[in-house]
């Protein structure tokens, strides 16, 4: 008997929580429901909007908008301080539900993930609707889903579907692009909806009247090469809705751990900036140890009063999760790169290149072992009596 080979079409879902931070705030304070509010910034206009409620979006408030601008636009905008701890807890709960549905889940950000459900017998639309109901029932969070034969089309479908809802409420959309209809769906959409078309390329293309993905898909080989170089052929495939990139199941562990702080008033004193840098390093170290992780790259982030932002990083010889190691490196980076006396608005410390902690103890490496023991004892005390029970002598001294 002749075997019949048929390429199995994939079933890919892109899930995105609707106005995630705002939805969590509504769960914590139900009186916010339906209100014109946003997370991020302060009532004095500092900072930027992190997430805007759908009622606020209707009035033009967008994430990444400076808070001052948002308040000028909507003077009665309610500003809510962000509760990052709650966000990661809710995010974890959602990702757990997704991993319970299929092991092939790739978390893209705190509120977004791809799922490959090709192995499940049900139609993709009913898998998506079930997931949407389950996430809402078990976490209280609304979400939208895009379904297609590839990550590319699933993601674009989801973004497109959500934008069609203009009710001032969370969209809770499920958008399905049937197999074979990918190119047709993409054709009328703006070129920048496509992965790989940055603002610069988009400007060039628009000057030539190429505004839609459909027009891009119809470009000649020579034109594609001209615009995208060696990526020309893959761009056409993408414009036709062809994307074979797999959903990479992740371990569910974070890729980096970082903490940052936006000051109520810009800081330009070295002493107080280093004091904050130490506090951030301790927070990052504690989170790493709690997750039983260590990292070999330390990063700092500096945002000046004019919003210009820099990140700098340095590699360590071995992985660490010790406050002192993190702070020493962060301090070196800071002193090397901070433009002295220039007021700082935001400061951040992060550790990446994460791995399980595996300090190699040499014969003479008593110091490392001692510091590890000391840090563990401090963690235990903080766990039992609260985080302020113990502070380093120099942290105490500089506290104002």
- Number of residues in contact with Mg ion under rule CB under 5 A: 4
Work out how close the CB of 112 gets to Mg ion at its nearest, in angstroms, rounded to a whole number: 6
Nearer to Mg ion, 24 or 127 (CB): 24
Q: Which of 59, 54, 53 is nearest to 40 (CA)?
A: 53
Work out how close the CB of 358 gets to Mg ion at its nearest, in angstroms, rounded to a whole number: 36
Nearer to Mg ion, 86 or 382 (CB): 86
- Listed in sequence order, the residues at least 6 apart from 75 whose beta carbon sits closer than 8 Å to its beta carbon are none
Work out how close the CB of 17 gets to Mg ion at its nearest, in angstroms, rounded to a whole number: 5
Site for Mg ion in 7-26 (CB under 5 A): 16-17, 20
Site for Mg ion in 105-164 (CB under 5 A): 111
Neighbours of 390 (CB within 10 A): 14
Work out how close the CB of 20 gets to Mg ion at its nearest, in angstroms, rounded to a whole number: 5
Nearer to Mg ion, 20 or 228 (CB): 20
Work out how close the CB of 110 gets to Mg ion at its nearest, in angstroms, rounded to a whole number: 9
Nearer to Mg ion, 20 or 327 (CB): 20
Query: Is 323 among the residues that bind Mg ion (CB under 5 A)?
Result: no
Considering 69, 96, 112, 260, which one is annotated as catalytic? 112
Any catalytic annotation for residue 182? Answer: no
Work out how close the CB of 18 gets to Mg ion at its nearest, in angstroms, rounded to a whole number: 6
Q: Tell me, residue by residue from 61 to 100, as one string, x for binding to Mg ion by CB under 5 A and - for no binding.
A: ----------------------------------------
Nearer to Mg ion, 125 or 172 (CB): 172
- The torsion of the CA quartet 258, 262, 268, 272, rounded to 10 degrees, works out to -60
Nearer to Mg ion, 108 or 202 (CB): 108
Site for Mg ion in 292-321 (CB under 5 A): none
Residues in the chain, total: 400
How far is CA 8 from each of CA 149, 176, 261, rounded to the nearest angstrom? 10, 18, 49
Which residues would be at the binding site for Mg ion (CB under 5 A)?
Answer: 16-17, 20, 111
Active site residues: 112
């Amino acid at each position: 008997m002749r075997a019949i080979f048929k390429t199995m079409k994939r079933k890919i879902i892109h899930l995105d929580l609707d106005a995630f931070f705002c939805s969590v705030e509504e769960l914590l304070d139900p009186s916010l429901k339906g209100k014109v509010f946003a997370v991020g910034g302060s009532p004095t206009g500092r900072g930027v909007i992190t997430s805007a409620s759908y009622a606020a979006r209707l009035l033009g408030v967008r994430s990444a908008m400076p808070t001052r601008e948002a308040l000028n636009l909507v003077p009665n905008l309610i500003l809510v301080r962000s509760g990052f701890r709650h966000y990661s807890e809710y995010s974890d709960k959602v990702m757990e539900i997704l991993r319970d549905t299929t092991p092939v889940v790739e978390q893209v950000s705190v509120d977004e993930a791809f799922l490959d459900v090709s192995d499940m017998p049900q139609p993709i639309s009913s898998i998506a609707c079930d997931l949407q109901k389950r996430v809402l029932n078990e976490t209280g969070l609304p979400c939208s889903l895009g379904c297609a034969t590839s990550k590319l089309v699933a993601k674009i479908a989801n973004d497109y579907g959500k934008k069609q809802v203009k009710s001032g409420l969370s969209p809770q959309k499920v958008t399905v692009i049937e197999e074979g209809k990918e190119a047709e769906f993409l054709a009328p959409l703006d070129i920048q909806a496509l992965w790989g078309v940055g603002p610069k390329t988009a400007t060039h293309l628009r000057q030539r009247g190429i505004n839609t993905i459909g027009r891009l898909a119809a470009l000649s080989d020579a034109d594609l090469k001209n615009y995208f170089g060696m990526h020309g052929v893959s761009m056409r495939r993408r414009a036709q809705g062809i994307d074979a990139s797999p959903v990479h199941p992740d371990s569910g562990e974070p890729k980096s751990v970082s903490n940052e702080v936006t000051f109520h008033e810009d800081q330009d004193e070295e002493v107080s900036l280093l004091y904050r840098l130490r506090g951030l390093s301790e927070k990052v170290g504690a989170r790493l140890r709690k997750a039983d992780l260590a990292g070999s790259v330390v990063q700092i982030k500096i945002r000046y009063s004019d919003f210009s932002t820099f990140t700098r990083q340095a590699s360590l010889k071995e992985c660490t999760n010790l406050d002192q190691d993190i702070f020493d490196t962060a301090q070196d980076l800071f002193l090397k790169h901070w433009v002295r006396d220039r007021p700082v608005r935001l400061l951040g410390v992060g550790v990446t290149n994460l791995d399980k902690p595996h300090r190699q103890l040499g014969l003479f490496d008593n110091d490392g072992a001692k510091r590890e023991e000391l840090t563990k004892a401090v963690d235990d005390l903080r766990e039992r009596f609260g985080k302020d029970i113990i502070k380093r002598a120099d942290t105490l001294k500089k506290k104002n």
